Structure 1
Amino acid sequence: MFDPKSRAWIVPSLCLISLLISLEVDGSPAPLILLESAVAKGAVCLDGSPPAYHFSPGSGSGVNNWLVFMEGGGWCRNVTECVELTGNSGGSSKFMKELSFSGILGDNQKTNPDFYNWNRIMIRYCDGSSFTGDVEAVDPATNLHYRGGRVWHAMIDDLLAKGMNKAENVDRTCEGGLASILHCDDFRSLLPSSVNVKCFSDAGYFIDVKDISGADSVKSLYTDVVNLHESEKFLPSSCNWRQGPSWCFFPQNVVPEMSTPLFILNSAYDSWQIRNILVPSSADPGQAWAECKLDIKKCSSSQLQTLQGYRSQFLRALPTSTSTGVFIISCYAHCQSGGPPTWQDVDSPMIENTTIAKAVGDWYNDRSAVRKIDCEYPCNSSCPNINNE
């Protein structure tokens, strides 16, 4: 019989490099599970290999609770970039290995008190489209499969069959968490209505902003990704395609229409966004920003002024609803939920003496509303341990 108190949570994608480093160092091992049955459905990685996930079973009070963590790692916008990804785990499960979980996926009650004994899953990312692609044809010259949307549904179908359909709580989380936002309501629709489903996005709130040269670099990137992967089918149906389907790759255009509760964890000076959206290489041919992008402490006064202007645009793009959890820190960092140093440790970054783990736990368990927005850089004394990651 289904427990009416069941909950489900889905977590967005990992910050591929920094998080995987911490995952291999801390926490308990989680074997790699190749989903061979998905191949017949055409739900495969870029190179046609089967998709994969890692699973650590729940215990005790968490045995009926599920944390689904979606790995991230960026996008490929053209054939050349996608072919390059097939040479590593970003595009092929052939290069994936067993990992150890930590941070929000960790099994240490002290550092992860709210989720340590849940069923914890990490869905590996190998499609280059934030799990949105759906192209039937395969070019024999490249053997590229643009099937991220199919991978997403094949994974969820498998987890439902393994017991998630009888969950008490489900949290969908993602580091590099655009995928968590794009698929949140769809995930909610695949579970029984009595399940408590919430979504958490770590470093996935990419904003629609011009780069320092005045060009729409990120909009151009998203347009290329959506067109190449034919992503329309797996973008949120509630989003108004005011400027084409790539419009719906920007969370600020999706979140206001979401019906599932969402928590946004981000830096107002997100290091990936600064380096790739605000100041991409194409906008800085003379590399005047090279040192600043590498180390925010080396930014000139005029560069810092530009970063403060970016922060203002970022804050204006955030949802205003008090039901949306918000933790916007001023550290120069990207993903922050994947390991103890940033999730919850003695020297973890904080806002108003609150760690990220406590803020997320308080919001998820309805202990308190969470809307914490940090002061301007360099005000936060807890940031130096993570700045420039």
Structure 2
Amino acid sequence: MQSDNCKAKSEESEEEMVRHHGTESRGAMTFVPVGLNVQKFQLSPLSCTCRRFYVQICMLLVIVVLLVLIRTISNVRVMFEEYHTASDTDGELVVLPQRFAQSRSAFCLDGSAPGYYIRYGQFPGNTNWIIYLSPGAWCSTPAECYNRSFTAVGSSVIAPIFFPFTGILSASEEENPDFYRWNMVKVLYCDGGSFLGNRPEPLVHQGKSLYLRGSQVFTAIIDYLQINTNFGAAEKVILAGSSSGGLAALINVDNLRKKLVSVKSIHALLDGMLFVDSQNIYGKHTMQETLKNVYHLHKIADAPAIQECTSSLTSSIGYRCLDPTYFYNYLFTPVFLISSLHDSWYINHALAITCPLRKCPPQDVIVIDQYKSAIVRALQPVKQSVHDGLFITSCPVHTLLLTKWFSHQAVSVNNVTLHQALSQWYNHQHPAKYIEDRQFSETLHTCKTVTY
């Protein structure tokens, strides 16, 4: 009962207070009864709680992610545009599917699938093809093949996505007026045996299996092009090659003709591949020994492209079929031969002359002159041919087909550039036998603009 009375008095006191406070609020001053727990409203300071900290971090991360995505999309677009532009003028890498390569036992030295660079042609040249076999010397010992298997001349794994197409492969009308609209293929050289290796089982060196299957690589590339491009309906085909690739083109071109029965015309361009037998400064036949070792190591004797030649010789001298001047006697396809009477690679590697060419001692110059005489003799059958062409410079260069000298006046014979001579030969406008027979000392003065 007492508690009820207290409760009633308390409610009356609160009503009176509210009534009194409402009346005073209309005045100038506000009356705050003493004893009531009423506080003035204040802004609380910002507190750095863990939850707020996490929220801020998350917001920051979202912003960073968005910026990265925007930049990535922008870069992808730029990269696509750059690659698209490159693919219009350069060759884009195509690696054969592993299953396709395995079905043909076609492998690079390291066991990876072979490949090629391609740029498709434009009308009216889109039914014509140039197949170019890349240079890169050879591996003539297991150790050399092992070392090559870790490089771009022994594996397709580390090959660049694009390769600049210049010279005979160029898409520039000014640089390559006769063929710039053609389909262009540059075959990746990864077998170390001029696309002629025919070793049935892998060669094991330092625990690594090495595949010397160049003949199968070449066949697989041609098969794949026939199946997956319009190469099977080609009208004109040129098989070209430089250095070791030039030797490969020489020996493979007739065999290629047998596969392309519907093609109207097939020709070969052989660049920097006159590996004649000549003694070096020590009296050794280094070039002959190298080709002999390649022949046996890669078991080339029974390769389909060379078998007609090797079957006519005893096994002890079958390696002579890798001598281009000897194999030329078995050739049927018309060829255009490009070389130097003073091949810079041959002088350095086969003749073992490493002195600066302008400062070589007289005894070295004598060896160079002997080598030049050997080339002149080797060219006699080509000079007499009514189908084959020649462009022989005296300038000390090695290859010309993919270099700036392809259409440059600095390396010309009788004021005719290489591409002009090639055009005359291919279009049957001229016999196209151009030979610049100058002495070595004279050449060093007339070829000043050429790097050697």
Q: Following the alignment from structure 1 to structure 2, what is the Cα–Cα distance between the partners of residues 302 and 95?
A: 43
Q: Within 5 A, what are the aligned runs for 1:1-389? A: 28-36=89-97, 37-97=100-160, 98-139=162-203, 141-161=207-227, 162-176=229-243, 177-192=246-261, 194-234=263-303, 235-239=305-309, 240-241=312-313, 244-279=317-352, 289-291=353-355, 295-318=356-379, 319-320=381-382, 321-322=384-385, 323-339=387-403, 341-345=404-408, 347-376=409-438, 377-379=440-442, 383-388=447-452
SS of 2:240's partner is strand
What's the TM-score once normalised by structure 2's chain length?
A: 0.74
Q: Following the alignment from structure 1 to structure 2, what is the Cα–Cα distance between the partners of residues 298 and 26?
A: 44
Q: Following the alignment from structure 2 to structure 1, what is the Cα–Cα distance between the partners of residues 415 and 176?
A: 17
Work out the number of aligned pairs and report it.
350
Q: Following the alignment from structure 1 to structure 2, what is the Cα–Cα distance between the partners of residues 160 and 195?
A: 16
SS of 1:386's partner is coil
CA contact (8 A) 2:348 2:354 kept: no
SS of 2:274's partner is coil
Q: Following the alignment from structure 1 to structure 2, what is the Cα–Cα distance between the partners of residues 264 and 193?
A: 25
* Superimposed CA distance per residue, residues 49-68 of structure 1 (whole angstroms, 9 cap, x where no aligned partner): 01010111111221111000
SS of 2:106's partner is coil
Q: Following the alignment from structure 1 to structure 2, what is the Cα–Cα distance between the partners of residues 363 and 382?
A: 26
Q: Following the alignment from structure 1 to structure 2, what is the Cα–Cα distance between the partners of residues 104 and 263?
A: 13
SS of 1:143's partner is strand
* Superimposed CA distance per residue, residues 83-120 of structure 1 (whole angstroms, 9 cap, x where no aligned partner): 10011101001110111211100000011001100000
CA contact (8 A) 2:279 2:351 kept: yes
Bigger Rg, structure 1 or 2? 2
CA contact (8 A) 1:238 1:258 kept: no
Q: How far did 1:193 drift?
A: 5.4
Matched AA of 2:231 = M
User: 1:18 matched to which residue of 2?
Assistant: none
Structure 2 residues without counterparts, runs of 5 or longer = 1-85
Q: How far did 1:290 drift?
A: 3.1
Q: Following the alignment from structure 1 to structure 2, what is the Cα–Cα distance between the partners of residues 145 and 316?
A: 37
CA contact (8 A) 2:271 2:338 kept: yes
| Percent identity of equivalent pairs | 29
* Higher helix content, 1 or 2: 2
Q: Please tell me the root mean square deviation across aligned C-alpha atoms, in Å.
A: 1.9
CA contact (8 A) 2:87 2:119 kept: no
User: 1:8 matched to which residue of 2?
Assistant: none
CA contact (8 A) 1:30 1:101 kept: yes
CA contact (8 A) 1:44 1:51 kept: yes
Q: How far did 1:337 drift?
A: 1.1
Q: Following the alignment from structure 1 to structure 2, what is the Cα–Cα distance between the partners of residues 217 and 315?
A: 20
Q: Following the alignment from structure 1 to structure 2, what is the Cα–Cα distance between the partners of residues 254 and 139?
A: 27
Structure 1 residues without counterparts, runs of 5 or longer = 1-24, 280-288
What's the TM-score once normalised by structure 1's chain length?
A: 0.85
Higher normalized contact order (CA 8 Å, seq sep 6+, divided by chain length): 1
